[in-house]
Structure 1
Amino acid sequence: MAARWTMLAGLLLLLPLLQSASSSSMVFKLDGNVYPAGHFYVTMNIADPSKPYFLSVDTGSDLTWLECAASNGACERCNKVPHPHYRPGPPSYKVVPCTDPLCDTLHQDLGTTKHCTEPFQCDYTLTYADGSSIGALMTDKFSLPMVKPPNDHPDLAIGCGYDQGVNAGKVTTVDGILGLGPSSVSLVSQLKNHKIITKNVIGHYLSTKGGGFLFFGEESVPSSDVTWVPMAPRTPGKPYPYSPGRATLQLDTKSIGAEPMEVVFDSGSAYTYLPELVHSQLVTALKASLSKSSVKEVHDPALPLCWKGNGPFKSLDDINKEFMSPISFNFGHGVTMTIPPEKYLITTEQGSACLGILGTADIDLYLIGAIAMQDQLVIYDNETRRLGWTHSLCDRMPET
C-alpha cells in the first residue's frame, strides 16, 4: 500500500527553473571502499534545515532516493542506516504528482507502467539484484558545493523509499542511492535543467585506499591522456544506463569466452559480474596461472574464491607479489581497459586474497563494478555521448 502525505494547496504546480547564472562544475569528496563497506558514497545535505545523508555513488541507476519514513513516522521494512531515516516535511518538501511529466520519465526509464493509485503522488518500484525499493517521488532542498555563483538550496526531485522489501532489516553503510544515469530524473540532469551546471558530465575517482572524489560539469575533465569510447545507445527499459559497447575478455593473452559481449559501467556495484559460463572459464584460467605459485585456495566468508600465501596478505602490495596476470576488456580499434590484480582482488580481515569478479546467471553482459574502476578517473560525458578513463589525475581532488 502506498504511503500518503498531506497536500497543501499549490503543491501540484511544477517547479520553475532556477533563474541564476550557470556554474560550470562542482566537486564532492567520497568516502567508503569496495571492502568491507561495499560502497563509495558522498555526503549530501538535504531538506531545510539540512540534514546529512550518505548516498552510494551509482552510475547504474537514474533515481536518487533515500530510505524514508512517511508522515506517520513509519518506514515499512527498512534497513538500519547511518542517519535517522529521511522524513519529508514542510516547508521544504513537495510531492511530485502522478500527472507530472517527471513521473512519466521515471517509469519509462524503469520500463514500468505508471499506476496512479494516489493521483497526487508518483509511486514507483525499483528492482535490484538483491531486492527492491517501493517509494514516492518528491522534491526537497539540496545544499550543494556551488562553484560560481552560489545557489544555496535548489529544489530537486528525489525518491522517498518507504518499503525495502522482504530483504530489509540489514545494517547498511549508506542512507540511499545517488542515481547518476543520463535520464531527466537523475540529479545531474536536473542540475543542468535548472541551469545550475552547464554540461551534463560526471566523473569519479575511486581509490584502492578508500575514498576518492566525484565531480559534475566539464571543467574537471582532463584535456589529454583520456581513453574515449562512444557511449552505446540506451534502449527503453534497459537497466544499465552506461555502456562503452562490446568487448572481448582476456586473462593475460588468453581469450576468455568465444564472442564479444556488451560491457556496462556500474559504480553502485562493489564487484564485477560476468555470466556464469564466462566466469567459470576465467576462474579455470586464473587457477592455471597460479599453478606454480605458493598460494593455496582457502575458505573465507567474504567472497566465494579466496587464496592465502605463505603468510597473510596484509595489503595490495602483497597481492602483486603472487598474482601477476592482468584481465583486459578489448573494445577493438586499439582500445583496451586493463584490470591489474589489485583491481580484481581484495584483501580480507582474515588475510586472504579474494576474487572480486563474480559469476551470475542473471546477466548476459560484462558488468564492470567499482572494484575494477579503482585508481583511475572514469568520465561519463552525456553531452557528446562518450565514456572515458584515465590515470592522469591520480589521487588529487580537482581544483575548483
Structure 2
Amino acid sequence: MGTWEAVRRGRLLIALLVAAAAIPPASSAAATTLPKKAKASSPPELLSELPVHAGRLVPSSVVFPIYGDVYPHGLYYVVMNIGDPSKPYFLDVDTGSDLTWLQCDAPCVSCSKGPHPWYRPKKSKLVPSGDPLCAALHSGIAQGENSGQCDYEIQYEDRGSSLGVLLYDAFSLRLTNSTRASPILAVGCGYDQQSAVQDASAPTDGVLGLGTGKVSVLSQLSNQGVTKNVVGHCLSGKGGGYLFFGDDLVPSSRMTWAPMSRIGFRNYYSPGPAKLYWGTQSLGAKQIEVVLDTGSTFTYFESHPYQAFLSAVKSDLSKTPLIEEFDDSALPVCWKGQKPFKSVSDVKKYFKTLALDFVKGKRALLELSPENYLIITKHGNACLGILNGSEAGLRNLNVIGDISLQDHMVVYDNEKQHIGWVRAACNRLPNADDHGLEDGDLSQYASMGVLK
C-alpha cells in the first residue's frame, strides 16, 4: 500500500481466499531458493524463559505499541522482531485474516520497497506440506506429500494479494510477567505481492493476521502455552494505541460482550447480526451481519443500509449551514462550512450517534459518535468514513473498520467465544496497577512487545 493520497479510499485487508491447491513457483529464480522438492522441516522447540507450573507453561500476555492512524496514513501497525538473529518488521494489524506474512527475498518476484530489507528465508525452515497448519491454511485440503513445502496464495478485498510459502521462525517477545520467549511460529514468505496501488512503496513489511484460524499468530501462541487465545486492541483517534495477546489487560467490569457468530466458513470476528439506529431512529427492520476488521481503514455497509444511513444524515444536514462538497478527493461524501474545519469537534453538533444493536448480546450496543465515522481532510472538509460496501465488492458483508473502532478497547476472547468493547483512552494502558505494570503511560512501554 502507499500513502493516503495514493490509496485514496484506504485499505481493506479482509481476506477473500486462501488457495487450496499447490502453487507452482512464480519463476525459476524463486524455485532455485525454495525448490518444490526441498525437504521441509519439523517445527523447532519453543525457546523461552517462561515460568512452568506442574510441568506446564503458565500463559502470560504481551503488549505491543501500535503506530499509525486513520488519517492521513490509513493504517495501524506494530513492530515485530522475527528471525534468529531477530530483526524488526512493521506489520499491518489485521483481524480480518489469519495468515501472517512478510515480503520475502526468496528471491522476490514482485515486492514493493518497504521500511526494512526484505525477509531472508532459510530452506531448512520450510513448513511441510503435510503439516496440520498447512492443512488448516488450505481449509483442510491437503496439498500432497510430494510438494515438499506449504505454498499459499491469499487475496484481499482491496485487490491486493500475496503468494508465497510457509516457514517456521522465531518471534522474539517480552511478556508482561517480565519473562522472555522466542516461540517458533509459522509465517508466510511472500515472494510475489500484488498491490491495489501499482509502483507504490509499502509502509509496512507485511501483515499480522489475527483471525480465528489455526495458522494465526494468536492461535499458535495459545497452542504453545505462551498466551491465552485472547487478543485485544485500542486504537487512538489521535494516532497510535496498543495491541495485546492474552487476558491480563482485559477489564473485569464495564465491558459490553456479545457472543461470537460464524459467517459461512470464514474465520472472521463477528458479534452477529445487528440493527442500525441513527440517534433514536431505526434505519430499517433488516438485521445486518457485521465483521470487525482492523485491516480496513473505513467502515462499509451493504447498499441498502448504507443508503438508509446516508439519507438520514443528509436529511438532518439539510437544516444546517453545512454544504455538500463534491471536489474532495479523499472520500466520496463530504461537507464544507463557512471556513475550513480543524477537527470533528467543529462539526459534531450537526451529527447524531450511529448505534449498532447486536441482537445476540445482552444490551450489546456499539455506539459510534461522530468521531467514529467522520474524517476532517487536509482541505478542512468533514467527510463520511462509512462507505458503500456493495460498490467496494463486499456484497452482503458489513465491515466495521478502524475509524469506528477508535477509542474503544476491543477484545476477541476465543477461549470464551465472545467479543467485548468499552470506550477507553487508548493512549494509556488500562488498570496498570492491576496487572503488575509500573505505569499506565503507553510511552513507558514502547519496547514491551519487542525484544531488544
* 1:282 CA displacement: 1.4
Paired residue for 2:319?
A: 292
1:274-353 matches, cutoff 5 A: 274-298=301-325, 299-321=327-349, 323-332=350-359, 333-353=362-382
Which letter maps to 2:84? D
TM-score, normalization by structure 1: 0.90
Equivalent of residue 125 in structure 2, options 91, 94, 118: 94
Going from structure 1 to structure 2, the CA distance change for 1:10 and 1:146 (only over 3 Å counts) comes to farther
Paired residue for 2:259?
A: 230
Answer whether contact 1:65 1:159 (CA < 8 A) is retained: yes
Which letter maps to 1:157? A
Equivalent of residue 194 in structure 2, options 158, 161, 165: 165
1:13-28 matches, cutoff 5 A: 13-16=42-45, 20=50, 21=52, 22-28=58-64
Answer whether contact 2:39 2:149 (CA < 8 A) is retained: no
Paired residue for 2:223?
A: 193
1:363-382 matches, cutoff 5 A: 363-382=395-414
Paired residue for 2:279?
A: 252
Instruction: Kindly indicate whether residue 156 of structure 2 is the aligned counterpart of residue 128 of structure 1.
Output: yes
* 1:334 CA displacement: 2.7
Which letter maps to 1:269? S
Paired residue for 1:396?
A: 428
Paired residue for 1:45?
A: 81
Runs of 4+ aligned structure 1 residues displaced above 6 Å come to 7-10
Answer whether contact 2:103 2:205 (CA < 8 A) is retained: yes
Which letter maps to 1:99? G
Answer whether contact 1:316 1:347 (CA < 8 A) is retained: yes
Answer whether contact 1:67 1:176 (CA < 8 A) is retained: yes
Which letter maps to 2:115? P
* 1:41 CA displacement: 0.6
Counterpart-to-counterpart distance in 2, 1:86 and 1:43: 14
* 1:170 CA displacement: 2.2
Counterpart-to-counterpart distance in 2, 1:33 and 1:65: 21
1:101-140 matches, cutoff 5 A: 101-108=132-139, 113-116=141-144, 119-131=147-159, 132-140=161-169
Instruction: Kindly indicate whether residue 97 of structure 2 is the aligned counterpart of residue 61 of structure 1.
Output: yes
Going from structure 1 to structure 2, the CA distance change for 1:80 and 1:117 (only over 3 Å counts) comes to farther
Counterpart-to-counterpart distance in 2, 1:16 and 1:224: 38
Equivalent of residue 386 in structure 1, options 418, 431, 435: 418
Q: Report the secondary structure of 2:304's partner residue.
A: helix
Instruction: Kindly indicate whether residue 309 of structure 2 is the aligned counterpart of residue 273 of structure 1.
Output: no
Q: Report the secondary structure of 1:137's partner residue.
A: strand
Answer whether contact 2:95 2:269 (CA < 8 A) is retained: yes
Paired residue for 1:212?
A: 241
Which letter maps to 1:285? A
Counterpart-to-counterpart distance in 2, 1:358 and 1:392: 25
| Paired positions, count | 388
* 1:325 CA displacement: 1.0
Going from structure 1 to structure 2, the CA distance change for 1:55 and 1:166 (only over 3 Å counts) comes to closer
Counterpart-to-counterpart distance in 2, 1:232 and 1:94: 35
Deviations 1:66-122, CA, capped at 9 Å, x for gaps: 12221xx3x2232232222222247xx71101111110001118xxx5545971211
Which letter maps to 1:381? D
Which letter maps to 2:126? V
Answer whether contact 1:18 1:194 (CA < 8 A) is retained: no
Deviations 1:287-328, CA, capped at 9 Å, x for gaps: 11111211111121111111111111112222324x321111
Counterpart-to-counterpart distance in 2, 1:303 and 1:96: 42
Going from structure 1 to structure 2, the CA distance change for 1:163 and 1:289 (only over 3 Å counts) comes to same
Paired residue for 2:19?
A: none
TM-score, normalization by structure 2: 0.80
Q: Percent identity?
A: 47
Counterpart-to-counterpart distance in 1, 2:131 and 2:155: 22
Q: Identify the range of structure 1 (262-271 vs 277-286) with the bigger mean alpha-carbon deviation.
A: 277-286
1:173-188 matches, cutoff 5 A: 173-188=203-218
Answer whether contact 1:97 1:120 (CA < 8 A) is retained: yes
* 1:17 CA displacement: 5.1
Going from structure 1 to structure 2, the CA distance change for 1:184 and 1:346 (only over 3 Å counts) comes to same
Deviations 1:165-216, CA, capped at 9 Å, x for gaps: 374432232111111112221111111112212x111110001000000111
Cα RMSD between the aligned structures?
2.3
Going from structure 1 to structure 2, the CA distance change for 1:252 and 1:163 (only over 3 Å counts) comes to same
Equivalent of residue 147 in structure 1, options 164, 176, 196: 176
Q: Identify the range of structure 1 (348-357 vs 148-157) with the bigger mean alpha-carbon deviation.
A: 148-157
Answer whether contact 1:17 1:195 (CA < 8 A) is retained: no
Going from structure 1 to structure 2, the CA distance change for 1:133 and 1:390 (only over 3 Å counts) comes to same
Q: Identify the range of structure 1 (18-27 vs 353-362) with the bigger mean alpha-carbon deviation.
A: 18-27
Answer whether contact 1:96 1:137 (CA < 8 A) is retained: yes
Answer whether contact 1:319 1:342 (CA < 8 A) is retained: no
Answer whether contact 2:150 2:166 (CA < 8 A) is retained: yes
Going from structure 1 to structure 2, the CA distance change for 1:308 and 1:114 (only over 3 Å counts) comes to farther
Q: Unaligned regions of 5+ residues in structure 2, if any?
A: 1-23, 53-57, 438-452
* 1:134 CA displacement: 1.0
Q: Unaligned regions of 5+ residues in structure 1, if any?
A: none
